[in-house]
Amino acid sequence: MRRYHLTTFGCQMNSHDSERIKGMLESLGLGEATSKEEADIVVFNTCTIREKPDTKLSAYLGDAGARKRENPDLVIAVGGCYAEAQQERIFDLYPQVDVAFGPGSIPHLADWVGVGGVGVERGRFGTHEHFAADLPQHRERGAHAWVQVSMGCNSSCSYCIVPAVRGREQSRRPGDIVAEVTQLAADGVREITLLGQNVNSWGRDLAPDIRTEFGELLRACDAVEGIERIRFTSPHPKDFRDPVIAAMAECDAVCEHIHLPVQSGSSRILKAMRRTYTRERYVALVAKLRAAIPDLALGTDVIVGFPGETEEDFRETLEVVEEVRYDSAFTFIYSPRRGTDAAAMADQVPEAVKHERLERLVEVVQRIAAEKNAERVGGVEEVLVEGPSRTDIALLRGRTRRNTTVNFTGSAQAGELVHVVVEGATSTTLRGRIAAAVAA
């Protein structure tokens, strides 16, 4: 049996796409290798949002090229956003690459490997005619599944390459989504995460044939028997409208957790980013969400060092972080991406300043997250068991409805819902002991 090994970089959408790539390869009769060294086909599903994944990919491809010199039959495939951004240029940059495909052309990988080798055509890009969700799936977590609701993005953030590599926004039809969720529930899935580049603008491009919006989709998924938890990512603050907030407040399965990217606390920088909201509008949205959804956990993304960011702009970002008090945050140093407007802007911030600001931001984020988690100590949390703890096999690991990782003692199987008494906390995790199982 020929075997493949897949390495994934980047976001949750890439994680979803990788599960579909695996499912498709396995449907062709390939097995999964436990390491790249044991594989006949190595696949890299890439990200190009920031510079770090590009650097890591270069190192991985260097190692793969060395193995290919020893074994010329090794097939090297590069997919995802970096491949789409580079297109045919990737074969000049990395001659060891056999095939490349963009995120909208995943099914074409089967054309190349399904016949036992590499065809004449080496790359396929820019098609965006297939939802990866239509492919077979290899789920990494039995009780959880990613569900793609849209692909592409219609926003024009000045720093972002996503619209160029994933195309204009296309929504899946609601019937197809609900049918997939229903089948997942029948297969034992208890938690789903709805995925889109701008998930809460889902459905607008389906008009006039279908008139719907994301709040209706949340309600339809909530009605599927067996689905206990619903999450979604990533929403854009400009499109977070009242019907979605009402659905979150009223649907039992929709979790009390939102990842709501702020990117900057400075309205001046937000305008330069073309985020189409101000600091004041963002903070008002947070207040509306918290008023409607008790015990809401908020996560965010923050970019440090965007072109033209002054110390005052950065101070405003720190102020928003202190005011909103996020439960978690992904913090990034601005990384210029070729083909974006921001990359050509004047007043690029020196690297040393970016790193110094990032350190100050991380300190504030971690302090607040530790304080927020400490507030949970002594309470009881509903936890979906994922398996053994990654740091101590004597403990179990799971997540709360608020998306906090919990390590705990007791006996339970992956996929069970249990009640955990919280006995301790750090900035990123809770720890405790099982109190009781949750009735199905």
Q: What pLDDT is stored for residue 117 in this prediction?
A: 47
* 3-state DSSP assignment of residue 7: strand
Q: What pLDDT is stored for residue 48 in this prediction?
A: 82
Q: What pLDDT is stored for residue 8 in this prediction?
A: 94
Out of 27-31, 54-58, 143-147, 307-311, pick the least confident: 54-58
Between CA 43 and CA 64 the distance in angstroms is 10
* Residue 157 structure tokens: 């953030």
Between CA 440 and CA 437 the distance in angstroms is 9
| 430 conformational bin, left if phi > 0, alpha if psi -120 to 50, beta if neither | beta
- Report CA dihedral (204, 206, 208, 213) to the nearest 10 degrees: -40
* Residue 327 structure tokens: 């439960």
Mean pLDDT confidence for 410-416: 94
Residue 50 has pLDDT above 80, yes or no: no
Q: How confident is the model at residue 181 (pLDDT cuts 50, 70, 90)?
A: very high
* Residue 286 structure tokens: 């947070």
* Residue 335 structure tokens: 């990384």
Mean pLDDT confidence for 48-54: 76
Amino acid at position 254, single letter? V
* Residue 273 structure tokens: 């980013």
Residue 31 has pLDDT above 70, yes or no: yes
Out of 32-41, 66-75, 138-147, 316-325, pick the least confident: 138-147
Report the candidate in 58, 53, 55 with the shortest Cα–Cα distance to residue 96: 58
Contact 200, 214 (CB under 8 A): yes
Mean pLDDT confidence for 409-420: 95
Question: Distances from the Cα of 380 to the Cαs of 25, 45, 255, 418, in angstroms?
Answer: 42, 39, 16, 10
Q: What is the pTM of this model?
A: 0.90
pLDDT tens digit string along 385-408? 999 998 898 999 999 999 999 999
Q: Please name the helix (run of DSSP H) or strand (run of DSSP E) that holds residue 249, with its range, or none.
A: helix 242-250
Q: How confident is the model at residue 218 (pLDDT cuts 50, 70, 90)?
A: very high
271, with CB counted inside 10 A (0-12, 13-18, 19+), is middle
Between CA 391 and CA 409 the distance in angstroms is 13
Mean pLDDT confidence for 14-20: 90
pLDDT tens digit string along 316-365? 999 999 999 999 999 999 999 888 999 999 999 999 999 999 999 999 99
**Degrees (nearest 5) of the Cα angle 133, 136, 140?**
90
Instruction: Give me the DSSP letters along 18-77.
Output: HHHHHHHHHHTT-EE-SSGGG-SEEEEEE--SSHHHHHHHHHHHHHHHHHHHH-TT-EEE
Mean pLDDT confidence for 183-188: 95
Mean pLDDT confidence for 234-261: 97
CA 286 to chain centre: 21
The secondary structure of the chain in percent helix, strand, coil, rounded to multiples of 5, reads: 40, 25, 40
Q: What is the DSSP letter of 198?
A: T
pLDDT tens digit string along 57-73? 999 999 999 999 999 99
Residue 384 has pLDDT above 80, yes or no: yes
* Residue 386 structure tokens: 């994922």
pLDDT tens digit string along 121-133? 788 887 777 777 7
Mean pLDDT confidence for 80-89: 90
Residue 368 has pLDDT above 70, yes or no: yes
Residue 116 has pLDDT above 60, yes or no: no
Q: What pLDDT is stored for residue 173 in this prediction?
A: 96
Contacts from 223-228 at CB under 8 Å and sequence distance 24+? 224/178, 224/181, 224/182, 224/185, 225/185, 226/185, 226/186, 226/189, 226/190, 227/181, 227/184, 227/185, 227/189, 227/190, 227/191, 227/192, 227/253, 228/190, 228/191, 228/253, 228/384, 228/417
Residue with tokens 């260097």: 62
Q: What is the DSSP letter of 306?
A: -
pLDDT above 70 covers a percentage of the chain that reads 97
